[in-house]
Each structure stands twice: as structure tokens, then as C-alpha cells.
Amino acid sequence: MRSLIRWRFKGKLKIILILLFLFSALFMSYQILYYTSLTNYQSQESHKQVLNSKSKERFSEESTGGYRKSEKLEVEVIPGRGKLVGGAILGVAPEYWPLYEPKQRNKKFFTCFASSREISWSKVNDDYCDCPADGSDEPSTSACMNGRFYCTKSTKHYPEYIPSSRVNDGICDCCDGSDEYESLFLTSVCKKSC
Amino acid sequence: MIMSRLWSSSLVTSKIIFLSYVFLILISHSDTVDRSKFKTCDQSGFCKRQRNVKEGSATYEADLSQGTVSTSSVSIPVINKGNGIPFVLEVFLLEGLKFRVKLNEAKPLRPRYEVEHALLSNMREGKLEVKKAADHWALIADTNNEARVYSTPLRIEFYSGGEKVTVINGRQMLKFEHLRKKPDVNDEPNDENAANEEGKEEPEPSMWEESFGGHQDSKPRGPESVGVDIDFPFTQHLYGLPEHADSFLIKDTKGGDPYRLYNLDVFEYEVNNGMALYASVPYIMAHSPKNTVGLLWLNAAETWVDFDVGGGSNLVDSIVNLVGGGASDEKVGRTRWMSESGIIDIFVFMGPKPTDVMRQFGEVAGTAPLPQMWAIASQQCRWNYNDEEDVRQVDEGFDSHDMPYDSIWLDIEHTDGKKYFTWDSHKFGHPVEMIQNITAKGRKMVTIIDPHIKRESGYFVHEDALRDDLYVKDKTGKVYEGWCWPGAASYLDFFDPKVREYWSSRFRLENYPSTVDLYTWNDMNEPSVFNGPEVTMPKDLIHYGDWEHRDVHNLYGLLMVKATYDGQMLRSENQLRPFILTRAAYVGSHRYTSIWTGDNTAEWSHLKISIPMCLSLGIAGFAHCGADIGGFFHNPEPELILRWYQAAMFQPFVRNHAHIETKRREPWLFGDHNTALIRSAIRKRYALLPYWYTLFHQAEMEGIPPMRPIWMLFPDDVKTYNIEGQHLIGNALMVAPVLEKGASKVSVYLPGVIWYDFYNYVAYQSGYHTIPVTEDSIPVFQRGGTIIPTKQRIRRASTLMKRDPFTLFVALDENNEARGRLYIDDGQSFGYRNGKFLEVEFTFKDNKLQSRVVNPGSYATTEWVERVVILGWRNRPASITVSSKSVGTSKLEFEGTHPLVIRKPRTLITEDWEIILS
């Protein structure tokens, strides 16, 4: 019985190691790609118009120990579009930004990715889940159980995507702390680790 | 004797013996309990003597002419005419319709033990009116409730609403063995030492010594047992008497053994029998449509209880009943209670409704305090998580599989050689850092702390205990030495206040490298002694106050958890609510601890029995009860663990735990498909946490457990009296878990009027239903007329959900009305006892849902209402508007009619608001 378990364990270990190698290879190649897209995004940013927002949320001094003052995130809440930080839609990978740009696409409705259900643009990122199948209407918030949040930055040790349930739960999951933009209840200090 | 000599002969031999013992425990996978290790009634001297008592044989008389009366009690001399021994009977009335009956020797040779610590010390007295008649005294509590003490023969009757509900010694089977001097072996028995007790019995050899399984019980104090019949003339539906792996409805014991109450570590216990288990609460409820009473037998010694409630295993009786049609007419529930020592001390809770009895019980035994929020979420345990890296990986595993959980537990292997309050320096070299890594995600840790102390020089607890005299002694006054996990071990005498104080101080962070986020699991506290009689302490050991272990056995675990509780209070300076999980318990333990049903087995029958076991513990005060998910021994098949997860998420205490020799059992190890199904089950628990938490608060306030028998809410519906596989959570949810392998449907009985499937909203009228189930199905129904607060955003841990918005489920009754409550506080501190909490009442009436804060401004929170789901709505409303201070008045979007989902009212939970459907 014991030896059987050990054999199985050894077999598993082998597979795990192979998978690990493949994964790291993939990850490295992705990192290179990501770097290029990141530079693209930064060059685009200067052309972006700054949208007005009713409420401007800022990290408070005491809760952002990890950030120096100049690095504070400014979160702008844009109804019908999302939470924006420095022009980026929080929780959305740059390649998907067009799907959240109503004016560019000149569409009356937002279409849930999985269910193809159409909802008004005001319901996008309004902290209520209208696309429960995939959470596609709430990429910036924690409203959907099946949603995912894109970290504005990721590293080898920090993920690219996290489940929506980890947005604003008081724990830094993204290396830049972008998942914890409601500093109100930031219980652990986000150390900048990117 | 031979055994003990062998053990003391040399350390080497004893170690070998011990190791082989442990080895045997670990490898023996026999499928059944070893019954030869545990006594039957016949093998227990006093039980045999007590069980031989015939109806009508008792010769006790009360001398009413010599009785005295005070405002709340009477005291009446009683004499046993058979041998002239005098007794004193006292009957007390306690405020809130509770009677207490005490019978003790008038002039015992030595004091007899009266149970301490179990009940509240500040019970309030009632005001009694005594009416004296020639043959009895009537003790009147109020117009509906009275007790009557009859003189010849002695019997005590209790009346509620004109119905005789309880009779003590009505069948004259009282047998109170008075203390006596040991007769000289050469002497003939004579009348003076009353060897011929009650003039009928021959002295038995078991009176002055007995042996079992090679263990000698010296019994220096001789026979001292007590026993009496207690009948319930109004019903045969008796419930409770935990802890037994048996049905909630108590079974007839004719032709079998009585139910036994003696805290024991029973290896691989079997289901459906009355053998003793880890906990003993001598408490039952007797129930009928008209009346409910509770009965507490306050005695901490070994106790056996016989039941004559019909349907016994006696074939002749059954045939007689069947032929004569007597079974249906017969409704007297007869019981007889037998304890090895102590006095007769009985509480009768007069009801008249089940919830009244729960309150009355709580006023005497206390209620279970509100746990921290994390403690009512999902916990992960194993014997053992091997080292810090293992802990990290399991914690990480929950995150990577997106499964919430709230604490990870370490069993005995985390210690340095089973020395509690220490850490294995190789495997757990950085305990504080490890705990902090877990708590950084809002989770907690729990370590096991057992009462057996390793006898190793240099171990501080052992050294302190020897120096300061903290151990239990044997009959000669020497420190008692037994065997348990560490090998040679001694046991702290928690009956000594200085021992409890010492124990409590061990939890201080300077004494135990840890943080205030590390909580405690007190196991093996029956106490378990591997080489002791029936795997526990010999009865002739001596505790603080010169009491024999015989007198106090069932209290040992209570005093241990009390000291642990005080320790957790001490280290947090009374700020944080303690959490303790115990295996052994007595009445009152619930004031300090949560409980689980011990070392169960990975079998469907054990999943099934977890429901009656927790219902039974629940009515005895244990609000926070659960069973090891999957079964402790052996490996559950995927279907079993899935169904177990689904059922356990609707039980008060939730923990996955397994034996060291089982396969790893983290919830993602049963294939992707099952992982998704288990995740779905766990999420259902987390969604309902606001409701559970509200119920746990109610348990502290009113003594009503969150997990309830159906008849507690529907006392008149006799169809609910025999249901063992279904239970309520609060008054709003009915759960009927899948308890059979390969089941495609579940038979359900729904009382009342209308219920809604909580997950697919199908409406059911009252009656019997066959509910089809899928792998993901847990038949759960919301009762029409209730409102349930939930949170639909499931986080990694419950503590991270405290700012999240609510979704309310409103299930309408036949009048289109519903009500519900929500209780909120900080989830961890004692602030709520100083008013720092929020209580909200929801009412749906006249097409309007109203939320009213009962105590505005007491607790600050930003929680809001994101969704309202209305079940049972008939027509699509034209419009829905919300109004409150924070949102003003505005129209709301909505979808559907049944369910009618109202989108985002956005009102704050701290404000009053209303939603109008028009």
C-alpha cells in the first residue's frame, strides 16, 4: 500500500515538474509580449482625454504605507465604463478595453460575453452583477461571483488575473495593489512588489 | 495489578508496550467498536443493582407534618421505612416555571457529591404558594403550574395546564443507597449496617469492589448509587440525552441495555445504540401537541437511563400491543435514572411550548455565547498537517481552487513530542510567522491542547505540576500515571481552582509562542487514558476536595474547557470571543465551547446520524455542533464526501477532519467535477452566514439553537415527531440532505402551509413530497412568511465579507406577508455586550417591504442592500420604488414575477427604508 502511494507520488512529481517547466516557458514568453504591449499602452496614454468624475477616491496616507506619495493611485469612477486608474480601466486587460468603450463602438448596449444578454451601459461596473455567467459587466468590482479582475501589473509571483471576489477585500493580490482601490478598508498594507 | 506492575517494571518495556498499543490503534481497521472494552449494565455493579428494582418496591414516605416552607421552597423529611434511613426532600421553585427536586440523606456518613460548575450560580428563585392537604402538599407556581408532594408513598407530581406531565417515584422504584461502613468480612450481616438494604436485597460482591477488563475498582466508599423512576404521563415522545450515536427520538430500552452516560473515548463507535460516548448531558425533552417539559438529572457520576416508551425490542410486548391495540392508547413515557453516586437532583422545566423549555433550560444551564463569525464558517483540519510548508500549501490550495475557508487546524503532531503548548522545532519552527501568514488573509489557526501531560523532566507543565501539586492522585495519594499520546502521562486536576488558574495562564502569549488569532481544540478530555478501565481514569482516583473520580467523572471535560476559555479571555484582555472545540462535555459546557461528534467513520450511516446527534446536543444547549466531514476513520468515496459537504454546510459547526492513516482529503482532491460541486456547497454556507450569525445571537439571547427539530416550530404536527433526516435552521429554512448512496430523490415532509425551494424557487404546499435531486442538489426550503438575509459575494474567508452588501430573500405566506431579522456586529469582540451591534427587522405587508433598525446608531457599518428576491409574488408590478434617507425616493429596476428580483435598492443597512410594489 505504502509503496504504491510512493510510486504514484513519484509519477505525479514527474508530471508536475514537466508541467512546471512548460508553464514557466510560457510565462517567460508572455512576459516579453506583455512588455511590448505595456510600452504601447504608455505611449497611447498621453492622448487619452481625462474624464470628469463625481467622486474621486484616493488612498489615504495611513493605509498606503507601501506607496510613496508620488505613486498614489488615483481612482476615477466612470459610470458605465469602470474604475479608471491613470486612464486604465481597472480589472480589464488592455486588449479588452475596446469592449468597454461605448462611444468608440457606437453601441447602445453592452453585451454580456457569455450570455449575450444586452444591458445598458450604465450597468457596466456599477457594482451590481448583471452578467452572472461570467461577470463580464463588472470587471472592476467584486459584484460577480464568476468574474475575474485583471491586475494592472503582474510578475512571476503575482498573478495576471484574480477572481473578482478578491477585489477590495482588504488583501493585496495584485503586485501593485490595484485590486484594493477602495482603500477604505485596506487592512493589510500593499507593498509595491512589481 | 499485574498490568500495573508490568508497566512500572522498566521504562524500556513500557515504551515497547506503549508503542505496540499505539501501533494497534493505528493499524487496526476493524469495522466495529470493541464492545468488550466497555461495560454493559450487567457488568456495572450499581447498574445491575438498580435495574433489579421492581415496581412498587420502594418504601419511602414523606413526613409532611414536619415539613417547612419558605418563599421559594419546601423542605420535608423523608424516611425509608424499609431500613429507617432518614432523608431530606427539598423542592424549589425557580423563576420562570422551573421546579428543582433534591433528595439527599439527612445524616450521610460523609458528604455526598453535589454537582458544581455545571449550572449558572445566579438562578433566580420563584415565589411559591403552598396548599397543604392531608395526604399531599400542592406547591403552586401559577394558575397553570404546580407540583404536588404526596406523603405515602412518597411521590411528586407536576401539572401543567391541568395535565399531569411528570411524576417522580410514581412507580415506587426509588432506590437511594445510603453511605455505610464496610462490613467486616467475618461478620454476619446485621441490621445496623443495613447490608440488607430495604430489607429485601442480599449484599452483592459488587458493592465494595468490582473489576472489569483486568482493572480493579477498590470502591472504598461502598455502595452509594441513586435511582428513581420519572414518568411522563402525557407522551412517549422523549428526545435528547446526548451524546449517543442514535436517533433523536429516544428508543425503548426493554430487552436491551439502558442508555449510558459516561464520558468515554470509544474507538470506532457504531451508530444506532445507546453506548456511552464522549459527552454526557442528562437532559431530555418530553413533547406532545399540548405540552412540552424538560428534565435535567443533575448528577456527574456514571449514569444509565431506562426508557419504556413503546416499540421496544421485547417481542412479546409488541405482539401484545399489536393484538390488543394497546399501542395507540398507551401514551405514558416511563423512564428510570440510575447514577453511581451523588444525590438525586432533578430539574423539571414546565414549558408549555418547546421554545419555553429551551429558555427555561438556558436560564439554569446558561446559553451558548455568540461565536466569532469565522467560527461558524468552514474549517479545515487533519491529523496532521505535517509542517509549515504543508500548512502554506493547503492554505494556498484553497485560494487556487477558489474555495473559501476560515481556519486551518493542527493536530497532536505539531507539538514537540506531544507536549502541549510547545511546537515541534523542525516542522513548526516559526509558529508566529506561520500564524501571521494565515491571518494575513483574514483566517485563523487552531491547535490541539489535550489534558494529558507528558511525564518528561524539563517539560515546564510537568515540572510545574509536580512542584505545585496540580495532578490528579490515585487512592493512596500518589500522582496518578496513565498512558496517552505522549506515553507516560499525568492529568491535571481541573477541579482545583489553582490548576484552572495555572492552565489559563498557559495561553498567555509570553507562555505560548502564538498570537491571539490561534484558537484551541480540547480533545481527549473524557479524559482518555489508553491503559485505564474503559479507556479512562480509574474511579477510585482522588480529585480536589477529596472527591473520587467516580463522583465527578462527567465534569472533567467541562472544567478543562472552562479553564481554556478563561485562558483565551486572559490573553486578549477580555476583548476577543474565545473559540474552543471540545470532545467531552457535560451540561453547561456549552457556555464555553463548541462541540463535534468525535471520531466518526466514513460511512453513509455516520453521515445520517450526524443530524440526530446534533439535534440532541442542540436541545441540550450546544448551539455550535458538527461532525467530521467525510468521517474521521477510513476514506470516503467521492459521492459520500460530496453529500457530506452538502449536509454539513447546513449544520452549525463545519469542519473537514481525518485520521492520519487516511488519504488526503482537502476538498479539491476528488476530481474537478466534484471540486466544483463542493465549492458550490461551501458557497451556499458563506452566502447564508448573515442568517446563521443572527441565529447564533438568538441562541445566546433565548437559548434556542440554530439547528432545530421541526416540532420546535410546529409543536402540534405529530407527523414531525419521528423525522430524523430533516431539520430546521432557524424558523425559515428546512433542510433535507441527501443521506443515501446513489439517491435520485429525497422524501420530505413539509409542515405548515407553503414552502419554496431555496435554490430553484419551486413552491410546495405542506405535506409529503418526493424531491428529485441532482449531484448539486441540497433540498432546502424557505418557509412562506419569512425573510432571510444573505450575502452573495463569497470571499476567501468570512471575515473579508464584512463590508459586502446584502441580498434579502422574501418568501411570502398565504397572506402575502413575511418577516425576518438581521443581527450584525464586528464579528469578533465582546463589544456587542455593550450595545455595539445592529438589529434590523424586515417586514413585508400590504405590498411593502420595510426595514426598521431596532437600535439606530449603535453600530457603524457601510453594508448596504444590493438585491431583494421575492418568492410567491403573483403579478408583475407596474413599478417599484425605494425610499430612505440615503437614496431619497427612486424607482427600481426589477425582473420576473417568481422570483421577483429587485435590482440594487442601494439602501444602507443602518437606516430605515421601504420598498413599495405597485
Return the domain boundaries, chain B.
Answer: 60-178+222-365, 373-450+493-526+552-708, 786-917
Confidence of residue B312 (pLDDT cuts 50, 70, 90): low
DSSP E strand stretches across B590-643? 594-596, 625-626, 628-629
Report the 3 state secondary structure along B1-67. Answer: CHHHHHHHHCHHHHHHHHHHHHHHHHHCCCCCCCHHHCCCHHHCHHHHHHHCCCCCCCCEEECHHHC
Stretch A141-152: mean pLDDT: 94
Confidence of residue A184 (pLDDT cuts 50, 70, 90): very low
Among candidate residues B345, B411, B523, B825, the one labeled active-site is B523
Confidence of residue B402 (pLDDT cuts 50, 70, 90): very high
Nearest Cα to Cα of residue B513 among B597, B447, B559: B447
Confidence of residue A189 (pLDDT cuts 50, 70, 90): low
Phi-psi region of B438 (alpha: psi -120 to 50; beta: other; left: phi over 0): alpha
User: What integer pLDDT is reported at residue A26 of this predicted model?
Assistant: 62
Stretch B891-897: mean pLDDT: 96
Query: How does DSSP assign B513-563, residue by residue?
Result: SS-TTEEEEE-STTT--TTSGGGS--TT-EEGGGEEHHHHGGGHHHHHHHH
Fold of B373-450+493-526+552-708: TIM Barrel (3.20.20)
User: What integer pLDDT is reported at residue A53 of this predicted model?
Assistant: 30
Separation of alpha carbons A111 and B176, rounded Å: 81
- Residue pointed to by grid coordinates 510578475: A155
User: What integer pLDDT is reported at residue A68 of this predicted model?
Assistant: 29
Stretch B397-413: mean pLDDT: 97
Question: Which residue from A minimizes the CA distance to B799?
Answer: A169
Name the residue facing B794 among A145, A168, A171 (closest C-beta). A145
Quick check: B440 and A188 CB within 8 A? yes
User: What integer pLDDT is reported at residue B9 of this predicted model?
Assistant: 42
Question: Which residue from B minimizes the CA distance to A190?
Answer: B440
Stretch B382-401: mean pLDDT: 97
What is the grid cell recorded at B445? 489557526
In the predicted structure, residue B330 carries a pLDDT above the cut 80: no
Spell out which residues of chain A touch residue B795, defining contact as CB-CB under 8 Å: 165-166, 169
Separation of alpha carbons B34 and A103, rounded Å: 76
Stretch B221-242: mean pLDDT: 98
Supply φ then ψ for residue B616, to 5 degrees. -65, -45
Chain centroid to CA A147: 10
Which residues have a Cβ under 8 Å from the Cβ of B446 and sit 6 or more positions away? B379, B381, B407, B408, B409, B410, B518, B519, B520, B521, B579, B581
Spell out which residues of chain B touch residue A185, defining contact as CB-CB under 8 Å: 803
In the predicted structure, residue B361 carries a pLDDT above the cut 90: yes
Separation of alpha carbons B730 and B152, rounded Å: 46
Confidence of residue B572 (pLDDT cuts 50, 70, 90): very high
Confidence of residue B857 (pLDDT cuts 50, 70, 90): confident
Stretch B336-351: mean pLDDT: 98
Stretch B310-322: mean pLDDT: 54
Q: Which CATH code is given to the segment(s) B786-917?
A: 2.60.40.1180
What is the grid cell recorded at B202? 442480599
Measured in angstroms, the CA of A168 and the nearest CA of chain B are apart by 9
Sequence-distant contacts of B896-899: CB under 8 A, at least 24 apart = B897/B873, B898/B761, B898/B763, B898/B871, B898/B872, B898/B873, B898/B874, B899/B761, B899/B869, B899/B870, B899/B871, B899/B873
Among candidate residues B229, B345, B406, B599, the one labeled active-site is B599
Do B129 and B140 contact (CB within 8 A), yes or no? Answer: yes
User: What integer pLDDT is reported at residue A37 of this predicted model?
Assistant: 35
Choose the weakest-confidence range: A40-44, A177-181, B524-528, B622-626.
Answer: A40-44
CA-to-CA separations, B103 to A47, B128, B177, in angstroms, rounded = 92, 19, 12
Question: Quick one: what percent of chain B has pLDDT higher than 70?
Answer: 93
pTM of the model: 0.89
Name the residue facing A142 among B793, B867, B904 (closest C-beta). B793
Separation of alpha carbons B579 and B563, rounded Å: 12
User: What integer pLDDT is reported at residue A39 of this predicted model?
Assistant: 31
Spell out which residues of chain A touch residue B683, defining contact as CB-CB under 8 Å: 145
CB neighbours of residue B627 within 10 Å: 26
Q: Any chain A CB within 8 A of the CB of B442?
A: yes
Q: Any chain A CB within 8 A of the CB of B402?
A: yes
Q: How many helices (H) and strands (E) does chain A have?
A: 2, 8
User: What integer pLDDT is reported at residue A13 of this predicted model?
Assistant: 66
Confidence of residue A183 (pLDDT cuts 50, 70, 90): low
Stretch B117-123: mean pLDDT: 96
Comparing B244 with B194, the larger pLDDT belongs to: B244
Quick check: B796 and A128 CB within 8 A? no
Spell out which residues of chain A touch residue B440, defining contact as CB-CB under 8 Å: 171, 188
Question: Which residue from A minimizes the CA distance to B905?
Answer: A128
Do A190 and A64 contact (CB within 8 A), yes or no? Answer: yes
Question: Quick one: what percent of chain B has pLDDT higher than 90?
Answer: 91
Name the residue facing B903 among A128, A187, A188 (closest C-beta). A128
Task: Work out whether strand B215-217 and strand B283-287 pair parallel, antiparallel, or are unpaired.
Answer: unpaired
Choose the weakest-confidence range: A59-63, B6-10, B219-223, B266-270.
Answer: A59-63
Q: Which amino acid is at B191?
A: D
User: What is the rounded radius of gyration, in angstroms, for the C-alpha atoms of chain B?
Assistant: 28
Measured in angstroms, the CA of A11 and the nearest CA of chain B are apart by 17
In the predicted structure, residue A86 carries a pLDDT above the cut 70: no
What is the grid cell recorded at B155? 411521590
Quick check: A166 and B804 CB within 8 A? no
**How is the beta sheet containing B654-656 ordered, strand by strand?**
B625-626, B594-596, B580-582, B518-522, B444-448, B407-410, B378-380, B654-656, B628-629
In the predicted structure, residue B468 carries a pLDDT above the cut 70: yes
Spell out which residues of chain B touch residue A170, defining contact as CB-CB under 8 Å: 442, 800
Q: Is B11 exposed, middle or buried (0-12, 13-18, 19+ CB in 10 A)?
A: exposed
Sequence-distant contacts of B741-750: CB under 8 A, at least 24 apart = B741/B604, B741/B639, B741/B640, B742/B639, B743/B773, B744/B772, B744/B773, B745/B770, B745/B771, B745/B772, B745/B773, B746/B770, B746/B771, B746/B773, B746/B779, B747/B771, B748/B779, B748/B781, B749/B710, B749/B719, B749/B720, B749/B723, B750/B781
Give the three-state DSSP class for B829: strand
Confidence of residue B10 (pLDDT cuts 50, 70, 90): very low
Separation of alpha carbons B459 and B520, rounded Å: 20
Stretch B13-36: mean pLDDT: 56
Confidence of residue A181 (pLDDT cuts 50, 70, 90): confident
Mean pLDDT over the full length of chain B: 93
In the predicted structure, residue B372 carries a pLDDT above the cut 80: yes
Separation of alpha carbons B537 and B543, rounded Å: 11
In the predicted structure, residue B19 carries a pLDDT above the cut 90: no
In the predicted structure, residue B213 carries a pLDDT above the cut 60: yes
In the predicted structure, residue B729 carries a pLDDT above the cut 90: yes
Separation of alpha carbons B578 and B590, rounded Å: 12
pLDDT digits (tens, 9 = 90+) for B488-506: 999 999 999 999 999 999 9
Question: Which residue from A minimizes the CA distance to B793?
Answer: A145
Separation of alpha carbons B233 and B162, rounded Å: 12
Stretch B813-833: mean pLDDT: 98
Q: Is B308 a catalytic residue?
A: no
Which residues have a Cβ under 8 Å from the Cβ of B156 and sit 6 or more positions away? B91, B101, B147, B148, B149, B150, B167, B168, B169
User: What integer pLDDT is reported at residue A27 of this predicted model?
Assistant: 56
In the predicted structure, residue A44 carries a pLDDT above the cut 60: no
What is the grid cell recorded at B315? 417481542
Write the class of the CATH domain B60-178+222-365: mainly beta
In the predicted structure, residue A62 carries a pLDDT above the cut 70: no
- Cβ pairs bridging A and B (under 8 Å): 39
| CA-based end-to-end distance of chain B | 84
User: What integer pLDDT is reported at residue B279 of this predicted model?
Assistant: 98
User: What integer pLDDT is reported at residue B686 of this predicted model?
Assistant: 98
Do B571 and B563 contact (CB within 8 A), yes or no? Answer: no
Q: Is B523 a catalytic residue?
A: yes
In the predicted structure, residue B29 carries a pLDDT above the cut 50: no
Quick check: A142 and B402 CB within 8 A? no
Choose the weakest-confidence range: A183-192, B233-242, B803-812.
Answer: A183-192
Do B130 and B138 contact (CB within 8 A), yes or no? Answer: yes
Which residues have a Cβ under 8 Å from the Cβ of A3 and sit 6 or more positions away? none
In the predicted structure, residue A75 carries a pLDDT above the cut 90: no
Confidence of residue B673 (pLDDT cuts 50, 70, 90): very high
Choose the weakest-confidence range: A23-32, A67-76, B302-311.
Answer: A67-76
Q: Any chain A CB within 8 A of the CB of B800?
A: yes
Q: Which amino acid is at B654?
A: V
User: What integer pLDDT is reported at residue A152 of this predicted model?
Assistant: 84
Chain centroid to CA B722: 20
Spell out which residues of chain B touch residue A165, defining contact as CB-CB under 8 Å: 402, 793-796
Q: How many helices (H) and strands (E) does chain B have?
A: 17, 51
- Residue pointed to by grid coordinates 514568453: A29
Stretch B168-177: mean pLDDT: 98
Packed helices B689-702 and B671-687: angle between N→C axes, nearest 10 degrees: 50
Same fold, B373-450+493-526+552-708 and B786-917: no
In the predicted structure, residue A156 carries a pLDDT above the cut 90: no
Stretch B377-400: mean pLDDT: 98
Q: Is B222 exposed, middle or buried (0-12, 13-18, 19+ CB in 10 A)?
A: middle
Spell out which residues of chain A touch residue B905, defining contact as CB-CB under 8 Å: none
Q: Which amino acid is at B638?
A: P
Stretch B705-725: mean pLDDT: 98
Choose the weakest-confidence range: B176-185, B320-329, B809-818.
Answer: B320-329
User: What integer pLDDT is reported at residue B465 of this predicted model?
Assistant: 98
Separation of alpha carbons B315 and B438, rounded Å: 59
Separation of alpha carbons B302 and B338, rounded Å: 8
Quick check: B804 and A142 CB within 8 A? yes
Quick check: B402 and A126 CB within 8 A? no
Measured in angstroms, the CA of B841 and the nearest CA of chain A are apart by 24
In the predicted structure, residue B913 carries a pLDDT above the cut 60: yes
Chain centroid to CA A175: 11
Give the three-state DSSP class for B455: coil
Measured in angstroms, the CA of A40 and the nearest CA of chain B are apart by 31
Give the three-state DSSP class for B782: strand
